[in-house]
Chain A
Amino acid sequence: MIQEKIAKANEEAIERVLNAQPTLLAIGKAEKDIPGMTKKTVLHAGPPITWENMSGPLKGAVIGGLIYEGLARDEKEAVELAKSGEIIFDSCHHHSAVGPMAGVVTASMPVWVLENKTFGNKSYCTLNEGLGKVLRYGAYSQEVIDRLKWMENVLAPVLKVALELSGPIDLKTMIAQVVQMGDEGHNRNKAGTSLLIRELAPYIVKTQFTLDEKSEVLKFMHSNDHFFLNLTMPACKCTMDPAGGIKYSTLVYTMARNGTEFGIRVSGLGDRWFTAPAEIIDGLYFPGYTTKDANPDIGDSCITETTGIGGFAMAAAIPIVQFVGGTPKDALNYTTQMYEITLSENNAYKVPALNFRGTPTGIDIQKVLETGILPIINTGIAHKNPGVGQVGAGLVHPPQKCFEDALEAFVEDIEKTN
């Protein structure tokens, strides 16, 4: 009886995931567009966390965010303000948003605004800053703040007008294409960034900004292969949100990390987080760095794996093994193994090397625990100290405890109601 209820609920949940139509609508501003955002709210990646428990890169990004907002003049003032209790820290996921690495969002930041056209829910994400010293890895020097200001004052306004001229962009179709062009939408976004430029360039040139400004915007997008990541992530976020809150469903609709803890949310258990200490990533380190330098796993970007791309689509992005480690055969194996723990195969995201089989989609906590196979995530590695930046990339799993605790809560809920 309960098995039938779970099967029916999971069928409903996965249908919502497969029927989603993530669409890019516009460029907005965090304070104006993100629900519940205020001048003194700082959103971050992963499950909720207090200032005291934040890791180095998250603390660094908060410091940078407060300086960028003009709420603090320097690091000392920012730390005092963060400790004071005046700042509301909250998870991006509680505000229909997602953020890569530290995932810090503050009031003035420009954001992509997306809508899942099937269900009408929105999602938000900041614009990707590029590589090197950047806020999402906890850097907050003047060059970081200057770049964020340029993004607010030049990049976002140009893209905003270009999008108004182009109209909404269907991201489901675009992600389906990039998965067939060697991207997996998490650690490889070269094809996605290129397609986005192709889509927007004709409208960017039609805007009234100066030639220099338009050229700078195109160069900035071109110089950063991860520019499209900040669109795959909210596309996945607005895809997964309608699959949450379905009674009896064992589907995982959120996986996220704040640099200290990894958290998951399960559809039938509503908004509750199940957390455990985040793991250190097994990967390839940039010259001069080792695992001793690494911060534990951080960022909302594993919303891509939750939706059936990222590590789950590694077979579509075989060159990525040069970046995260392993062999082409490993990439095929990772994707193949994920079919063991998922509810369905994706109807849009298909892998050429697997005879165009749909990517494994919709993690089921029952299958994870029955098989002992944990979701595979490929991700960037942040230095444990604020301000240093990315030190490598690799593969990581969520802690099994998150799934065990969720299962225990799920059974308790069922025993209470039956």
Chain B
Amino acid sequence: MNKINDLFNEELKVINIGLESFYKDLKDQDIKTIHVKWRPTAGGNKKIASLLSKLK
């Protein structure tokens, strides 16, 4: 627990994956952050993801 608390006492450098609004909020607060453009396979379409998995 102490180690995690130490982390928040240091300068935060954040890699954000997922909702872009988290990245924007951090950016607005001058936190060093980059956003990774990530989407689940086939944008989360289960049928297409299942078809694609049959080719693996």
Contact yes or no, B41 A370, CB < 8 A? yes
Complex Cα spacing A256 to B39, Å: 28
Task: Please list the residues of chain A having a beta carbon within 8 angstroms of any beta carbon in chain B.
Answer: 2-3, 6, 250, 366, 369-372, 404, 407-408, 410-411, 414-415
Contact yes or no, A369 B55, CB < 8 A? no
Whether, in the assembled complex, B48 has its beta carbon less than 8 Å from a beta carbon of chain A, the answer is yes
Q: Contact mask B31-56 → A, CB, 8 Å, 1/0? A: 00000000101110000100110111
Q: Which residue of A lies closest to B50 (CB)?
A: A411
Contacts of B41 in A (CB 8 A): 370
Q: Contact mask B6-43 → A, CB, 8 Å, 1/0? A: 00000000000000000000000000000000010111
Contact yes or no, B39 A369, CB < 8 A? no
Contact yes or no, B42 A411, CB < 8 A? no
Complex Cα spacing A2 to B54, Å: 8
Most buried by B among A2, A3, A407: A407
Complex Cα spacing A410 to B52, Å: 10
Summed over the interface, the residue pairs from A and B with CB atoms below 8 Å come to a total of 31
Complex Cα spacing A3 to B55, Å: 6
A-B contact pairs, 22 of them (CB 8 A): A2-B54, A2-B56, A3-B55, A6-B55, A250-B55, A366-B52, A366-B55, A369-B48, A369-B52, A370-B41, A370-B42, A371-B39, A372-B42, A404-B48, A407-B51, A408-B51, A410-B55, A411-B51, A411-B54, A411-B55, A414-B54, A414-B55
Q: What class of interface size applies to chain B in its complex with A?
A: 10 to 19
Contact yes or no, A369 B42, CB < 8 A? yes
6 further interface pairs, Cβ-Cβ under 8 Å (given A366-B52, A369-B42, A414-B55): A2-B55, A3-B55, A369-B48, A370-B52, A407-B48, A407-B51
Most buried by A among B43, B51, B52, B55: B55
Contacts of B52 in A (CB 8 A): 366, 369-370, 407
A143 to chain B, nearest CB (A): 49
Most buried by A among B39, B43, B48: B48
Complex Cα spacing A404 to B43, Å: 13
Contacts of B51 in A (CB 8 A): 407-408, 411
Q: Which residue of A lies closest to B53 (CB)?
A: A411
A140 to chain B, nearest CB (A): 43
